[in-house]
Structure 1
Amino acid sequence: MESQNIRDKKETAIEVKVHLIVFKLGNEEYGVRIDQVKEVTITPEITRMPKTPSFIKGVSNIRGDIIAIMDLEERFRITPAQGPAKAHTYTLVMEARDYTMGFIVREVPQSLSLPVSSIDKAPSFIQDVNINENFIEGIGKYEDRLIIVLDIYKILTSEEVLELKS
């Protein structure tokens, strides 16, 4: 009976973690759940498409699939970090039910596991600013870093998804 209690205490001590892909936009760190990312690749050549929003850089051929490529800094109106230009960028490929999208990031994304308890809800005033853009899942704390956790499926509005699919 006593060994059962010890095992129960060990199981409750194991904290649930969330596995993130972390990257920088501007000077801040952002993360998305690893299960929302199909792959990370060096950004291939992008072909500009007419009549698309400016934050949609165009389309690329990634492993035989033609995928729309979005610049997250431009989408969120974030000023890019100052410093020397990088030789190339990276693309996080996300596959939703209705579409596949690539998101450009300027530095190599990192993998990081955070305890779920270290991710706080975003302050309500941030969430209420624009109801359609409720894509901030929370703010993760890791050592002395703050990581804005995004729900990558909510970055585009339903109207934008329809526009991209047509």
Structure 2
Amino acid sequence: MGEEVKVIVFALGNEEYGIEVDKVRTIERLSPITRVPKTAAFIKGVINLRGVVVPIIDLRGRFNLTETQPTENSRIIVVAVGEIEVGFIVDSANDVIDIDTDSIDLPPEIVGGIKAKYLRGIAKLGEGRLLIMLNLSEVLNKNEIVQLAQIEA
């Protein structure tokens, strides 16, 4: 057995994804988002989270999935990437689980229409359940991080 990593499980459509707990700052209900002009379409705007301006990204838009209307279960997962905090809109945040790092395989080229560069790997959880592990540094590439840093400032 390898090391275990704690992961927050969230959903986009029918797929389950994971982000390591140590990268997650907080999970919030959707709150009003202030639009920011001249940003990529998937950057929905910013929220004021306890006095901190946090850029908000719709992960569905980021991954070129069909965007849907938020529901009662929609959440914003606030993650830290380097010095920047960013919120991801997800359909739901369901669980915190421990995953054996040995059960995480390299991602295939495309999973559910999402390019492999956004993925750290696929975790096999048993009973045919797969968890798509995100590679946060690619989900937010350097140019976008610069753009988001400018929004924060």
* TM-score band w.r.t. shorter chain: 0.7 to 0.9
Counterparts of 1:153 and 1:37 in 2: how far apart (Å)?
A: 13
Segments of structure 2 that go 5 or more residues without pairing to the other structure are none
Equivalent in the alignment of 1:114: 99
Identity %: 36
Paired residue for 1:78, among 62, 65, 71? 65
Q: TM-score, normalised by structure 2?
A: 0.85
CA separation of 1:85/1:151 partners in 2, compared to 1, >3 Å: closer, same or farther?
Answer: closer
Equivalent in the alignment of 1:9: none
Paired residue for 1:134, among 114, 117, 120? 117
CA separation of 1:153/1:85 partners in 2, compared to 1, >3 Å: closer, same or farther?
Answer: closer
Counterparts of 2:70 and 2:44 in 1: how far apart (Å)?
A: 18
Secondary structure at the residue paired with 1:53?
A: coil
- Residue 91 of structure 1, CA deviation: 0.8
Q: TM-score, normalised by structure 1?
A: 0.79
Counterparts of 1:101 and 1:80 in 2: how far apart (Å)?
A: 19
Counterparts of 2:70 and 2:83 in 1: how far apart (Å)?
A: 34
Equivalent in the alignment of 1:64: 51
Q: Which one has the largest radius of gyration?
A: 1
Amino acid across the alignment from 1:136 = L
Q: Contact 2:35/2:45 (CA < 8 Å) preserved in 1?
A: yes
Task: Provide Cα deviations, 1:35-83, integer angstroms capped at 9, x if missing partner.
Answer: 11111111221011111111011100111111000000110012357xx
Counterparts of 1:85 and 1:136 in 2: how far apart (Å)?
A: 24
Secondary structure at the residue paired with 1:67?
A: strand
Amino acid across the alignment from 2:86 = M
Extract structure 1 runs of 4+ deviating beyond 6 A: none
Amino acid across the alignment from 1:72 = L
Give the CA RMSD over aligned residues.
Answer: 2.4
